[in-house]
Chain A
Amino acid sequence: MTRTAVARRPPWYLVVPGVVGVVFLALPLAGLVAQAPWGSIVELLGSPAVLQALRLSLITSVAATLIALVLGIPLAMLMTRTRAFGGAWVRALVTLPLIMPPVVGGVALLAAFGRRGLAGQLLFDVFGIQIPFTTAAVVIAEAFVAMPFLVITVEGALRSSDARLEQAAATLGARPWTVFRRITLPLIAPSIAAGAVLCWARALGEFGATLTFAGSFPGVTRTMPLAVYAALDVDRAEALALSMVLLLVSVLILVSLRGRFLQGLRR
């Protein structure tokens, strides 16, 4: 007992960089908390402009997460269970939005769905539909940058899940859909939840792709991060307060989900 405890103690020279790491991550948060005008936060929470941005942020981030779930879980299945999607190139493609600067993501979305874009031109010429500068564009931008978090998490879980359980069910006569629903999904449920939460958090914080692809208009496309940026031009205190509100809301939701859904994150 004591022996394992001693053996697992980290070497002393990891302590200093480790502590520096914690301070590095905590200091900006501490600055935000220390400088936020707490008196006006309650007041701000009641202001129509903030409520509007907050509501838009919550609606779009949840919608983006739902899209990621509906498209992402099947994609992860294909990546782990088929040869065509199992290659390194699909994995690279899925990971790309993760490492791409969000502004570049926004430009790419314009090149695809803008009214002069690959698919957007067709939509515009044939149906007269223009996606940029709409709430739908915000959801698309958020889903584009956030879905990889879900796909990668679920894919990892599928790869490490016990294939023999699925094989056993199949030998006993279960059809593929039944195997997926009754065996595979319950096995990876914690990872789906964890991936969905990561995906949602990323969508909630999305800024660059949204500004580039969807613009910034109150009530339509100005989500909380864009409202923070717009406020920064006028009033630093308001920007700090808005940042605090966004932070509080995300922490509150994460804490309330913890325990019930987040076993996958805690391992």
Chain B
Amino acid sequence: MRLLLGLALATALTVTGCGSSDARTLTVSAASSLTEAFTEAAQDFESENPDVDVSITFAGSSALAEQVNSGAPVDVVATASQQTMATMTDAGTAIDPVQFATNRLAIAVPRGNPAGIASVADLATVRTAVCAPQVPCGAATQELLARTGTTVDAVSLDPDVKTVLGRVAADEVDAGIVYATDVRAAGAAVEAIAIPDDVNVSTGYYVARVTDSDQAALADRFIEFVSTGPGQQVLDNLGFELP
């Protein structure tokens, strides 16, 4: 019993005691493919605003939209498609969306490209992982396959782009369709096979303030930071295209 009380006390102290005494926390939900970009941008934002802690959750855009529409206590939300953003702005849970980047698809293959993939058409005969059609990267993938007239016998329809990338990095699949920036972020375990511009699909990234946020001014400052401020340089460095 005493041990339990001690634990509870320690937890309470940790929870209330962390960070500087009057730090404000900005809660951001962002698409999986923004993991590296927003982590870095948030650090830059924090050094510009020492009294602010930015806390970011990364997940598939649709899952994030679902959470925001269910009233998740989030200040800023960033999605990998206009359509997903629209599910929130239509519901009135997010306002004033701004496009701040675009991304393209690429084929990710394990290091050394063991299956020798050179084009989208080659995916018809190898083990491929793709995003589920419900999430933005999956919708873009469907369009790419339609444009190239390729039928892919996918082994998995994954809930987000990082899951697809993980399967490629683990060499459990021969290829995966992901965003170009993801391959770059994955490091040496994964190589990119470029998709020609005339068939490639690009997707727009949108960021908006959550309507119920009680830190509207701070949220707007973060949105400005990534859409027109120093955050743009971070995105550019990581291979995103700027609007």
Contacts and interface: CB of A to CB of B under 8 A. Distances in A.
Interface in A188-237: 211, 215-218, 221-222, 229-230, 232-234, 236
Interface stretch (A109-117, A159-167, A170-178): A109-117
Listed residue (B134, B156, B167) with the most chain A CB atoms within 10 angstroms of its CB = B156
A216 B156 contact: yes
Contact of A133 (B60, B69, B127, B132): B127
B60 A215 contact: no
Contacts of B63: 232-233
B62 A233 contact: yes
A132 interface: yes
A239 to B, nearest CB: 9
Interface string B121-153: 000000101001011000000000000000000
B167 A215 contact: yes
Contacts of A130: 127
Contact of A230 (B69, B127, B157): B157
Interface in B87-107: none
A217 B62 contact: no
Contact of A236 (B60, B66, B158): B66
A5 to B, nearest CB: 28
B159 interface: yes
Interface residues of B, number: 23
Given A133-B127, A230-B134, A218 B157 contact: yes
Contacts of B212: none
B62 A234 contact: yes
B170 A217 contact: no
Nearest to B166: A212
A161 B203 CA distance: 65
Contacts of B171: 114-116
A233 B60 contact: yes
Interface string B55-99: 000001011001001100000000000000000000000000000
B172 interface: yes
Interface string A54-68: 000000000000000
A116 B167 CA distance: 12
Given A233-B66, A234-B134, A216 B158 contact: yes
B170 A216 contact: no
Interface size class of A (residues with CB under 8 A): 20 to 34
Nearest to A221: B156
A116 B170 CA distance: 8
Interface string A108-132: 0010001110000000000000101
Listed residue (B60, B167, B172) with the most chain A CB atoms within 10 angstroms of its CB = B172
B123 to A, nearest CB: 15
B155 interface: yes
B154 A230 contact: no
A232 B173 CA distance: 26
Contacts of B132: 216, 230, 233
B155 A215 contact: yes
A229 B159 contact: yes
A216 B172 contact: no
A110 B170 contact: yes
A104 to B, nearest CB: 14
B172 A116 contact: yes
A115 B156 contact: no
A216 B134 contact: no
The 4 closest A-B pairs by CB, nearest first: A215-B156, A233-B62, A133-B155, A233-B134
Interface of B: 60, 62-63, 66, 69-70, 127, 129, 132, 134-135, 154-159, 163, 167, 170-173
22 contacts: A114-B172, A115-B172, A132-B172, A133-B127, A133-B172, A211-B163, A215-B129, A215-B157, A215-B158, A216-B157, A216-B158, A216-B159, A217-B154, A217-B156, A222-B157, A230-B132, A232-B63, A233-B60, A233-B62, A234-B134, A236-B66, A236-B69
